[in-house]
Amino acid sequence: MSDIPSARGFDSTLALFRNPYGFISKTCRDLDADLFETRILLQKTICITGAAAAEVFYRENRLIRTNSMPGRIQKTLLGKGGVQGLDGATHQHRKKMFMSLMGTERIAALEGMSVHMLDSFAPGWEVRDEIVLYDEVRELLTRVVCTWAGVPLPETEVSTRTAQLTALFQQAGAVGPKHWAARRARHRLEKWAAGMIQQVRDGKLQPTQESALHVIATWRDLNGELLNSKVAAVELLNILRPTVAVSVFVVQTAHALYRYSQWQEKLRDDEGLLEPFVQEVRRLYPFFPAVAARVRSAFEWRGYHFPEGRRVLLDLYGTNTDPRSWDAPLEFLPERFQSWDENPYNFIPQGGGDHYTNHRCPGEWIAISQMKVFCRYLVNEINYDVPDQGSELASGELPSLPKNRFIMRNIRRRQ
Ligand code: HEM
Protein backbone atom coordinates (compact mmCIF):
# COMPACT_ATOMS: atom_id res chain seq x y z
CA MET A 1 0.00 0.00 0.00
CA SER A 2 1.32 3.50 -0.83
CA ASP A 3 1.31 6.56 1.36
CA ILE A 4 -1.20 9.22 0.32
CA PRO A 5 0.78 12.16 -1.15
CA SER A 6 1.00 15.15 1.23
CA ALA A 7 0.41 18.83 0.55
CA ARG A 8 3.25 21.18 1.41
CA GLY A 9 3.23 22.67 4.91
CA PHE A 10 1.69 21.56 8.19
CA ASP A 11 -1.85 22.94 7.68
CA SER A 12 -3.62 24.09 4.48
CA THR A 13 -6.49 26.12 5.98
CA LEU A 14 -5.06 29.42 4.80
CA ALA A 15 -4.28 28.13 1.30
CA LEU A 16 -7.82 26.77 0.98
CA PHE A 17 -9.22 30.04 2.28
CA ARG A 18 -7.20 32.06 -0.27
CA ASN A 19 -8.12 29.88 -3.22
CA PRO A 20 -11.34 28.04 -2.22
CA TYR A 21 -12.22 26.86 -5.73
CA GLY A 22 -8.77 25.97 -7.05
CA PHE A 23 -6.73 24.74 -4.08
CA ILE A 24 -7.63 21.04 -4.20
CA SER A 25 -7.40 20.57 -7.98
CA LYS A 26 -4.18 22.60 -8.22
CA THR A 27 -2.50 20.66 -5.41
CA CYS A 28 -3.60 17.37 -7.02
CA ARG A 29 -2.15 18.51 -10.36
CA ASP A 30 1.13 19.53 -8.70
CA LEU A 31 1.36 16.11 -7.02
CA ASP A 32 0.12 14.28 -10.14
CA ALA A 33 -2.54 12.48 -8.07
CA ASP A 34 -6.32 12.40 -7.46
CA LEU A 35 -5.88 12.86 -3.75
CA PHE A 36 -3.59 14.24 -1.08
CA GLU A 37 -3.48 14.50 2.67
CA THR A 38 -3.18 17.69 4.66
CA ARG A 39 -4.61 19.38 7.74
CA ILE A 40 -7.63 21.70 7.56
CA LEU A 41 -8.39 23.60 10.76
CA LEU A 42 -5.64 21.42 12.25
CA GLN A 43 -7.54 18.19 11.51
CA LYS A 44 -6.07 15.53 9.23
CA THR A 45 -8.05 15.63 5.99
CA ILE A 46 -7.85 13.69 2.72
CA CYS A 47 -8.76 15.93 -0.23
CA ILE A 48 -10.00 14.22 -3.40
CA THR A 49 -10.98 15.42 -6.87
CA GLY A 50 -12.51 14.10 -10.12
CA ALA A 51 -15.36 11.82 -11.17
CA ALA A 52 -13.75 8.59 -9.90
CA ALA A 53 -13.17 10.21 -6.52
CA ALA A 54 -16.78 11.45 -6.43
CA GLU A 55 -17.94 7.90 -7.05
CA VAL A 56 -15.97 6.71 -4.01
CA PHE A 57 -17.37 9.59 -1.98
CA TYR A 58 -21.01 8.81 -2.76
CA ARG A 59 -21.15 5.10 -3.57
CA GLU A 60 -21.42 2.18 -1.21
CA ASN A 61 -21.82 4.28 1.89
CA ARG A 62 -18.12 4.25 2.65
CA LEU A 63 -18.36 7.71 4.15
CA ILE A 64 -20.63 9.20 6.77
CA ARG A 65 -21.67 12.74 7.63
CA THR A 66 -21.94 12.65 11.45
CA ASN A 67 -19.55 15.29 12.84
CA SER A 68 -18.06 16.00 9.43
CA MET A 69 -18.88 19.73 9.24
CA PRO A 70 -16.74 22.30 11.05
CA GLY A 71 -18.69 23.80 13.99
CA ARG A 72 -18.60 27.31 12.51
CA ILE A 73 -20.42 26.13 9.37
CA GLN A 74 -23.01 24.31 11.46
CA LYS A 75 -23.65 27.42 13.56
CA THR A 76 -24.28 29.57 10.48
CA LEU A 77 -25.09 27.80 7.21
CA LEU A 78 -26.64 24.54 8.37
CA GLY A 79 -27.88 24.50 11.96
CA LYS A 80 -27.97 21.39 14.18
CA GLY A 81 -30.00 18.21 13.70
CA GLY A 82 -30.82 18.76 10.01
CA VAL A 83 -30.68 16.24 7.17
CA GLN A 84 -27.10 17.15 6.23
CA GLY A 85 -25.65 15.48 9.35
CA LEU A 86 -27.73 12.27 9.26
CA ASP A 87 -26.66 8.84 7.98
CA GLY A 88 -28.22 5.55 6.89
CA ALA A 89 -31.93 4.83 7.36
CA THR A 90 -32.49 8.00 9.42
CA HIS A 91 -31.08 10.09 6.61
CA GLN A 92 -33.07 8.33 3.90
CA HIS A 93 -36.31 8.76 5.80
CA ARG A 94 -35.73 12.50 6.41
CA LYS A 95 -34.60 12.93 2.82
CA LYS A 96 -37.98 11.58 1.67
CA MET A 97 -39.55 14.59 3.35
CA PHE A 98 -37.52 16.95 1.14
CA MET A 99 -38.05 14.91 -1.99
CA SER A 100 -41.83 14.92 -1.39
CA LEU A 101 -41.71 18.71 -1.87
CA MET A 102 -40.01 18.51 -5.25
CA GLY A 103 -42.79 17.15 -7.48
CA THR A 104 -43.15 18.62 -10.98
CA GLU A 105 -46.31 20.53 -10.07
CA ARG A 106 -44.72 22.11 -7.01
CA ILE A 107 -41.66 23.20 -8.99
CA ALA A 108 -43.96 24.65 -11.68
CA ALA A 109 -45.95 26.51 -9.01
CA LEU A 110 -42.78 28.13 -7.69
CA GLU A 111 -41.77 29.01 -11.23
CA GLY A 112 -45.16 30.70 -11.88
CA MET A 113 -44.83 32.70 -8.66
CA SER A 114 -41.41 34.01 -9.72
CA VAL A 115 -42.68 35.05 -13.16
CA HIS A 116 -45.59 36.85 -11.55
CA MET A 117 -43.29 38.57 -9.04
CA LEU A 118 -40.90 39.63 -11.81
CA ASP A 119 -43.82 41.28 -13.59
CA SER A 120 -44.67 43.20 -10.45
CA PHE A 121 -41.02 44.26 -9.83
CA ALA A 122 -40.26 45.37 -13.41
CA PRO A 123 -42.33 48.63 -13.49
CA GLY A 124 -40.40 49.79 -10.40
CA TRP A 125 -37.10 49.04 -12.17
CA GLU A 126 -38.10 51.15 -15.18
CA VAL A 127 -38.41 54.33 -13.11
CA ARG A 128 -35.09 53.89 -11.30
CA ASP A 129 -31.70 54.96 -12.72
CA GLU A 130 -30.18 51.63 -11.81
CA ILE A 131 -30.78 48.47 -9.84
CA VAL A 132 -28.46 46.01 -8.13
CA LEU A 133 -29.67 42.71 -9.52
CA TYR A 134 -28.46 40.60 -6.59
CA ASP A 135 -30.42 42.69 -4.07
CA GLU A 136 -33.59 42.60 -6.17
CA VAL A 137 -33.47 38.85 -6.75
CA ARG A 138 -32.76 38.06 -3.08
CA GLU A 139 -35.84 40.02 -2.01
CA LEU A 140 -37.95 38.58 -4.81
CA LEU A 141 -36.97 35.00 -3.96
CA THR A 142 -37.56 35.58 -0.24
CA ARG A 143 -41.11 36.73 -0.98
CA VAL A 144 -41.73 33.91 -3.44
CA VAL A 145 -40.33 31.04 -1.38
CA CYS A 146 -42.18 32.13 1.76
CA THR A 147 -45.49 32.19 -0.14
CA TRP A 148 -44.71 28.83 -1.75
CA ALA A 149 -43.67 27.27 1.57
CA GLY A 150 -46.80 28.52 3.40
CA VAL A 151 -44.76 30.89 5.57
CA PRO A 152 -46.53 34.18 6.44
CA LEU A 153 -44.26 37.14 5.72
CA PRO A 154 -45.66 40.55 6.72
CA GLU A 155 -44.49 43.41 4.48
CA THR A 156 -42.64 45.00 7.43
CA GLU A 157 -40.44 41.88 7.80
CA VAL A 158 -39.41 41.38 4.18
CA SER A 159 -36.09 43.22 4.32
CA THR A 160 -35.08 41.78 7.70
CA ARG A 161 -35.81 38.18 6.70
CA THR A 162 -34.09 38.68 3.34
CA ALA A 163 -30.96 39.98 5.08
CA GLN A 164 -31.00 37.21 7.70
CA LEU A 165 -31.44 34.40 5.15
CA THR A 166 -28.65 35.90 3.02
CA ALA A 167 -26.28 36.11 6.00
CA LEU A 168 -26.56 32.33 6.47
CA PHE A 169 -25.04 31.48 3.10
CA GLN A 170 -23.02 34.58 2.30
CA GLN A 171 -21.24 34.89 5.61
CA ALA A 172 -20.94 31.21 6.53
CA GLY A 173 -17.22 31.10 5.76
CA ALA A 174 -16.47 34.56 7.19
CA VAL A 175 -14.41 35.32 10.28
CA GLY A 176 -14.86 38.00 12.95
CA PRO A 177 -17.94 40.26 13.10
CA LYS A 178 -19.51 38.86 9.91
CA HIS A 179 -19.39 35.34 11.34
CA TRP A 180 -21.06 36.53 14.54
CA ALA A 181 -23.72 38.38 12.56
CA ALA A 182 -24.48 35.13 10.67
CA ARG A 183 -24.80 33.28 14.01
CA ARG A 184 -27.23 35.90 15.30
CA ALA A 185 -29.22 35.62 12.07
CA ARG A 186 -29.48 31.84 12.50
CA HIS A 187 -30.60 32.21 16.10
CA ARG A 188 -33.37 34.64 15.14
CA LEU A 189 -34.50 32.68 12.12
CA GLU A 190 -34.67 29.42 14.07
CA LYS A 191 -36.79 31.10 16.75
CA TRP A 192 -39.14 32.48 14.06
CA ALA A 193 -39.37 29.14 12.24
CA ALA A 194 -39.90 27.12 15.44
CA GLY A 195 -42.73 29.49 16.39
CA MET A 196 -44.48 28.81 13.08
CA ILE A 197 -44.02 25.03 13.41
CA GLN A 198 -45.68 25.22 16.85
CA GLN A 199 -48.55 27.34 15.51
CA VAL A 200 -49.26 24.77 12.81
CA ARG A 201 -49.25 21.99 15.39
CA ASP A 202 -51.61 24.00 17.62
CA GLY A 203 -53.94 24.62 14.66
CA LYS A 204 -53.39 28.39 14.84
CA LEU A 205 -51.75 28.48 11.41
CA GLN A 206 -53.12 26.42 8.56
CA PRO A 207 -50.85 26.34 5.53
CA THR A 208 -51.95 24.16 2.59
CA GLN A 209 -51.29 20.41 2.89
CA GLU A 210 -48.62 20.41 0.17
CA SER A 211 -46.68 23.39 1.55
CA ALA A 212 -43.22 22.89 3.06
CA LEU A 213 -44.35 24.36 6.40
CA HIS A 214 -47.20 21.86 6.69
CA VAL A 215 -45.15 18.87 5.52
CA ILE A 216 -42.28 19.61 7.92
CA ALA A 217 -44.52 20.46 10.91
CA THR A 218 -46.39 17.15 10.54
CA TRP A 219 -43.52 14.88 9.41
CA ARG A 220 -42.85 11.88 11.65
CA ASP A 221 -39.38 10.37 11.97
CA LEU A 222 -38.73 6.62 11.87
CA ASN A 223 -39.78 6.25 15.51
CA GLY A 224 -43.18 7.79 14.69
CA GLU A 225 -42.49 11.02 16.58
CA LEU A 226 -42.90 14.56 15.24
CA LEU A 227 -39.55 16.30 14.71
CA ASN A 228 -38.65 18.37 17.73
CA SER A 229 -39.50 21.97 16.96
CA LYS A 230 -35.85 23.12 16.80
CA VAL A 231 -34.99 20.45 14.24
CA ALA A 232 -38.16 21.19 12.27
CA ALA A 233 -37.11 24.86 12.25
CA VAL A 234 -33.68 23.89 10.88
CA GLU A 235 -35.37 21.86 8.12
CA LEU A 236 -37.77 24.69 7.22
CA LEU A 237 -34.74 26.96 6.89
CA ASN A 238 -33.17 24.22 4.71
CA ILE A 239 -35.89 25.16 2.19
CA LEU A 240 -35.98 28.95 2.61
CA ARG A 241 -32.22 29.68 2.78
CA PRO A 242 -31.04 27.79 -0.32
CA THR A 243 -33.93 29.04 -2.43
CA VAL A 244 -32.86 32.61 -1.63
CA ALA A 245 -29.29 31.50 -2.44
CA VAL A 246 -30.41 30.72 -6.00
CA SER A 247 -29.98 34.53 -6.37
CA VAL A 248 -26.23 33.79 -6.67
CA PHE A 249 -26.84 31.51 -9.68
CA VAL A 250 -29.21 34.12 -11.16
CA VAL A 251 -26.56 36.84 -10.93
CA GLN A 252 -23.99 34.45 -12.40
CA THR A 253 -26.46 33.77 -15.25
CA ALA A 254 -26.81 37.53 -15.86
CA HIS A 255 -23.03 37.79 -15.83
CA ALA A 256 -22.75 35.02 -18.43
CA LEU A 257 -25.34 36.78 -20.65
CA TYR A 258 -23.23 39.93 -20.42
CA ARG A 259 -19.84 38.32 -20.97
CA TYR A 260 -20.95 35.89 -23.68
CA SER A 261 -23.45 38.32 -25.21
CA GLN A 262 -23.68 36.39 -28.50
CA TRP A 263 -25.88 33.97 -26.54
CA GLN A 264 -28.66 36.52 -26.00
CA GLU A 265 -29.81 36.29 -29.62
CA LYS A 266 -29.45 32.50 -29.68
CA LEU A 267 -31.57 32.14 -26.54
CA ARG A 268 -34.23 34.46 -27.93
CA ASP A 269 -34.45 32.31 -31.05
CA ASP A 270 -34.38 28.92 -29.42
CA GLU A 271 -36.07 28.23 -26.07
CA GLY A 272 -34.42 24.79 -26.10
CA LEU A 273 -31.02 26.37 -25.44
CA LEU A 274 -32.07 27.80 -22.07
CA GLU A 275 -31.37 24.62 -20.15
CA PRO A 276 -27.92 23.98 -21.70
CA PHE A 277 -27.07 27.64 -20.97
CA VAL A 278 -27.96 27.51 -17.27
CA GLN A 279 -26.33 24.08 -16.87
CA GLU A 280 -23.09 25.55 -18.20
CA VAL A 281 -23.42 28.39 -15.66
CA ARG A 282 -23.85 25.78 -12.90
CA ARG A 283 -20.76 23.93 -14.15
CA LEU A 284 -18.36 26.81 -14.68
CA TYR A 285 -19.34 29.54 -12.22
CA PRO A 286 -17.98 28.93 -8.72
CA PHE A 287 -20.52 28.48 -5.93
CA PHE A 288 -20.01 25.59 -3.47
CA PRO A 289 -16.31 24.62 -3.49
CA ALA A 290 -16.36 21.27 -1.65
CA VAL A 291 -18.27 18.92 0.66
CA ALA A 292 -17.01 17.05 3.73
CA ALA A 293 -17.58 13.57 5.16
CA ARG A 294 -15.77 11.02 7.38
CA VAL A 295 -14.60 7.47 6.70
CA ARG A 296 -17.17 5.04 8.20
CA SER A 297 -14.73 2.13 8.45
CA ALA A 298 -11.27 1.80 6.96
CA PHE A 299 -11.07 1.00 3.25
CA GLU A 300 -8.61 1.09 0.36
CA TRP A 301 -8.89 3.01 -2.89
CA ARG A 302 -6.31 2.66 -5.66
CA GLY A 303 -3.86 1.21 -3.16
CA TYR A 304 -4.29 4.08 -0.68
CA HIS A 305 -5.52 3.53 2.86
CA PHE A 306 -8.43 5.62 4.18
CA PRO A 307 -8.43 5.17 7.99
CA GLU A 308 -11.67 5.08 9.99
CA GLY A 309 -12.85 8.50 11.11
CA ARG A 310 -10.59 10.47 8.72
CA ARG A 311 -12.21 13.58 7.27
CA VAL A 312 -12.52 13.57 3.45
CA LEU A 313 -13.11 16.69 1.36
CA LEU A 314 -14.54 16.24 -2.14
CA ASP A 315 -13.67 18.98 -4.62
CA LEU A 316 -16.92 19.99 -6.36
CA TYR A 317 -15.63 22.87 -8.47
CA GLY A 318 -12.47 21.04 -9.59
CA THR A 319 -14.56 18.01 -10.58
CA ASN A 320 -16.88 20.20 -12.68
CA THR A 321 -13.85 21.59 -14.50
CA ASP A 322 -11.73 18.43 -14.66
CA PRO A 323 -10.11 18.09 -18.12
CA ARG A 324 -10.48 14.30 -17.88
CA SER A 325 -14.27 14.70 -17.96
CA TRP A 326 -14.72 17.93 -19.93
CA ASP A 327 -13.21 19.18 -23.19
CA ALA A 328 -11.95 22.76 -22.92
CA PRO A 329 -13.15 22.74 -19.30
CA LEU A 330 -12.60 26.44 -18.59
CA GLU A 331 -14.43 27.62 -21.68
CA PHE A 332 -18.10 28.61 -21.54
CA LEU A 333 -19.69 26.22 -24.05
CA PRO A 334 -23.41 25.60 -23.35
CA GLU A 335 -23.61 23.39 -26.47
CA ARG A 336 -21.88 20.63 -24.50
CA PHE A 337 -25.13 20.13 -22.57
CA GLN A 338 -27.17 19.60 -25.74
CA SER A 339 -25.88 16.08 -26.23
CA TRP A 340 -24.86 15.27 -22.73
CA ASP A 341 -24.62 11.83 -21.26
CA GLU A 342 -25.87 12.59 -17.76
CA ASN A 343 -23.47 11.29 -15.14
CA PRO A 344 -23.98 11.61 -11.36
CA TYR A 345 -20.26 11.92 -10.62
CA ASN A 346 -18.63 14.32 -13.10
CA PHE A 347 -21.14 17.21 -12.89
CA ILE A 348 -21.67 17.91 -9.21
CA PRO A 349 -22.32 21.61 -8.50
CA GLN A 350 -24.96 20.55 -5.95
CA GLY A 351 -23.39 17.25 -4.91
CA GLY A 352 -23.43 13.88 -6.68
CA GLY A 353 -24.78 10.34 -6.55
CA ASP A 354 -28.47 9.67 -5.96
CA HIS A 355 -30.96 12.22 -4.64
CA TYR A 356 -32.77 9.74 -2.38
CA THR A 357 -29.95 7.66 -0.94
CA ASN A 358 -27.03 10.11 -0.97
CA HIS A 359 -26.74 13.68 0.26
CA ARG A 360 -27.16 15.10 -3.23
CA CYS A 361 -29.07 18.39 -3.14
CA PRO A 362 -32.86 17.94 -3.40
CA GLY A 363 -33.14 21.53 -4.66
CA GLU A 364 -31.45 20.99 -8.04
CA TRP A 365 -34.72 21.17 -9.98
CA ILE A 366 -35.68 24.39 -8.18
CA ALA A 367 -32.28 25.91 -8.97
CA ILE A 368 -32.44 24.95 -12.66
CA SER A 369 -36.05 26.03 -13.16
CA GLN A 370 -35.55 29.36 -11.36
CA MET A 371 -32.39 30.08 -13.35
CA LYS A 372 -34.36 29.46 -16.53
CA VAL A 373 -37.18 31.79 -15.40
CA PHE A 374 -34.77 34.66 -14.74
CA CYS A 375 -32.66 33.97 -17.83
CA ARG A 376 -35.77 33.98 -20.02
CA TYR A 377 -36.90 37.26 -18.43
CA LEU A 378 -33.54 38.97 -18.93
CA VAL A 379 -33.40 37.87 -22.55
CA ASN A 380 -37.01 38.23 -23.69
CA GLU A 381 -38.83 40.66 -21.41
CA ILE A 382 -36.47 43.55 -20.72
CA ASN A 383 -33.68 45.60 -22.28
CA TYR A 384 -30.97 47.05 -20.05
CA ASP A 385 -27.42 48.41 -20.00
CA VAL A 386 -24.59 47.04 -17.89
CA PRO A 387 -21.84 49.46 -16.78
CA ASP A 388 -18.36 48.08 -17.42
CA GLN A 389 -16.92 48.68 -14.00
CA GLY A 390 -17.22 46.16 -11.21
CA SER A 391 -18.96 43.46 -13.18
CA GLU A 392 -15.99 41.07 -12.99
CA LEU A 393 -16.31 38.19 -10.53
CA ALA A 394 -14.54 38.85 -7.24
CA SER A 395 -11.90 36.15 -6.88
CA GLY A 396 -11.56 34.45 -3.52
CA GLU A 397 -15.09 35.45 -2.49
CA LEU A 398 -17.43 32.70 -1.43
CA PRO A 399 -19.86 32.41 -3.20
CA SER A 400 -18.29 34.16 -6.14
CA LEU A 401 -20.22 37.27 -7.30
CA PRO A 402 -19.43 40.40 -9.34
CA LYS A 403 -17.97 43.09 -7.07
CA ASN A 404 -20.89 45.45 -7.80
CA ARG A 405 -23.48 42.64 -7.39
CA PHE A 406 -24.43 43.25 -11.04
CA ILE A 407 -25.71 46.75 -11.67
CA MET A 408 -28.27 47.22 -14.45
CA ARG A 409 -29.24 50.61 -15.88
CA ASN A 410 -31.92 51.98 -18.22
CA ILE A 411 -34.26 49.08 -17.77
CA ARG A 412 -37.10 49.09 -20.29
CA ARG A 413 -39.68 46.40 -20.83
CA ARG A 414 -39.64 45.03 -24.37
CA GLN A 415 -42.80 45.37 -26.39
C1 HEM B 1 -28.62 27.82 -4.70
C2 HEM B 1 -28.19 26.80 -5.35
C3 HEM B 1 -27.82 25.57 -4.58
C4 HEM B 1 -26.57 25.04 -4.43
C5 HEM B 1 -25.28 25.55 -5.05
C6 HEM B 1 -26.71 23.89 -3.59
C7 HEM B 1 -25.67 23.07 -3.23
C8 HEM B 1 -25.80 21.99 -2.39
C9 HEM B 1 -24.73 21.11 -2.03
C10 HEM B 1 -23.28 21.22 -2.53
C11 HEM B 1 -25.22 20.20 -1.17
C12 HEM B 1 -24.44 19.11 -0.44
C13 HEM B 1 -24.31 17.84 -1.21
C14 HEM B 1 -23.58 16.81 -0.38
O15 HEM B 1 -23.44 16.98 0.83
O16 HEM B 1 -23.14 15.80 -0.93
C17 HEM B 1 -26.61 20.50 -0.97
C18 HEM B 1 -27.45 19.81 -0.12
C19 HEM B 1 -28.72 20.22 0.19
N20 HEM B 1 -29.45 21.20 -0.44
FE21 HEM B 1 -28.80 22.39 -1.91
N22 HEM B 1 -28.03 23.75 -3.22
C23 HEM B 1 -28.75 24.75 -3.81
C24 HEM B 1 -30.12 24.93 -3.78
C25 HEM B 1 -30.96 24.25 -2.94
C26 HEM B 1 -32.39 24.44 -2.86
C27 HEM B 1 -33.18 25.38 -3.77
C28 HEM B 1 -32.85 23.64 -1.86
C29 HEM B 1 -34.25 23.43 -1.34
C30 HEM B 1 -35.28 24.14 -1.66
C31 HEM B 1 -31.71 22.94 -1.29
C32 HEM B 1 -31.73 22.08 -0.21
C33 HEM B 1 -30.68 21.28 0.16
C34 HEM B 1 -30.76 20.30 1.23
C35 HEM B 1 -31.94 20.05 2.16
C36 HEM B 1 -29.52 19.62 1.24
C37 HEM B 1 -29.10 18.48 2.16
C38 HEM B 1 -29.36 17.15 1.47
C39 HEM B 1 -28.89 15.96 2.26
O40 HEM B 1 -28.08 16.12 3.17
O41 HEM B 1 -29.32 14.83 1.94
N42 HEM B 1 -30.59 23.33 -1.98
N43 HEM B 1 -26.96 21.58 -1.74
- The predicted-structure confidence for 227-249, as pLDDT tens digits, reads as follows 999 999 999 999 999 999 999 99
Give the range among 126-135, 138-147, 168-177, 318-327 with minimum mean pLDDT.
Answer: 168-177
Local confidence band at 74 (pLDDT 50, 70, 90 cut-offs): confident
Q: Give the type of residue at 173.
A: G
Candidates 3.40.30.10, 1.10.630.10, 3.30.830.10, 3.40.50.1820; CATH matching 13-413: 1.10.630.10
Looking at residue 244, what is its pLDDT? Answer: 98
* Percent of the chain's residues with pLDDT above 70: 100
Determine the pLDDT at residue 58. Answer: 96
Give me ligand 1 centre to Cα 125, in Å: 31
Residue 206 confidence (pLDDT) above 80: yes
Contact 158, 139 (CB under 8 A): yes
Summarised one tens digit per residue, pLDDT across range 1-58 is 779 999 999 999 999 989 999 999 999 999 999 999 999 989 999 999 999 999 999 9
| The pLDDT of residue 389 is above 90 | no
Residue 242 CA to ligand 1 center (angstroms) comes to 7
pLDDT tens digits, 128-164 = 999 999 999 999 999 999 999 999 999 999 999 999 9
Question: Which is more confident, 13 or 395?
Answer: 13
Query: Tell me, what's the pLDDT at 71?
Result: 84
Nearest ligand 1 atom, CA 86:
40
- Residue 398: what pLDDT? 84
Q: End-to-end CA distance of the chain, in Å?
A: 68
CB atoms within 10 A of CB 72: 16
Residue 394 has pLDDT above 90, yes or no: no
Select from 227, 361, 366, 373 the residue to mutate for testing ligand 1; criterion: most ligand atoms less than 8 Å from CB: 361
Share of the chain above pLDDT 90, in %: 88
CA 125 to each of CA 132, 133, 389, 409, 415: distance values in angstroms, whole numbers, following the listed order:
10, 10, 20, 9, 16
Q: Mean pLDDT in the chain?
A: 95
| Domain ranges, ordered by start, for the chain | 13-413
pLDDT of residue 367: 98
Is any atom of ligand 1 closer than 6 Å to the C-beta of 242? yes
Protein residue closest via CA to atom 41 of ligand 1: 359
**What is the pLDDT confidence band of residue 392, given thresholds at 50, 70 and 90?**
confident
Q: At what angle do helices 229-259 and 133-149 cross, to 10 degrees?
A: 140
Longest dimension (CA), the chain: 68
Please list the residues that pair with 45 across neighbouring strands. Answer: 38, 311
Q: Quick check: 413 pLDDT over 90?
A: yes
Prediction pTM value? 0.97
The answer on pLDDT for 176 being more than 90 is no
134 HSE (CA, 13 A, CB side)? 19
